[in-house]
Amino acid sequence: MADEVRASIDAALASVIEPQTLVSVLDLGFVAGVSYSETGRRVILRLAVEDRRFACPACSLVDSLAVEDMARRVREAVGAALPGWTVETT
């Protein structure tokens, strides 16, 4: 079962496309780590994105919104692949 869960997670991550590059977040290396518990039905995804600060407040806002959107789409994709599981991003 563990291989099936990991395959479902990987397939879900591969389906999340970063809109500016049209490449999956998995291929871009935005996912730094994946851990899961089958008994707890929980997935934790560590994203490799920095909390960057810009001199321009609008630039910081746009960047943080893009990161939040990517994290949301990742959670939704993995959640759809594993119904009933809790999915978290850090």
The answer to whether the beta carbons of residues 10 and 25 sit under 8 Å apart is: no
CATH top-level class of 2-89: alpha beta
**Residues whose CB falls within 8 Å of the CB of residue 59, separated by 6 or more in sequence, listed in order:** none
Residue numbers of the chain with a pLDDT score lower than 50:
none
State the alpha helices, DSSP H only, in the chain: 2-14, 57-81
pTM: 0.85
Query: Where are the chain's structural domains?
Result: 2-89
- What pLDDT score does 71 carry? 94
CA distance 14 to 2: 18
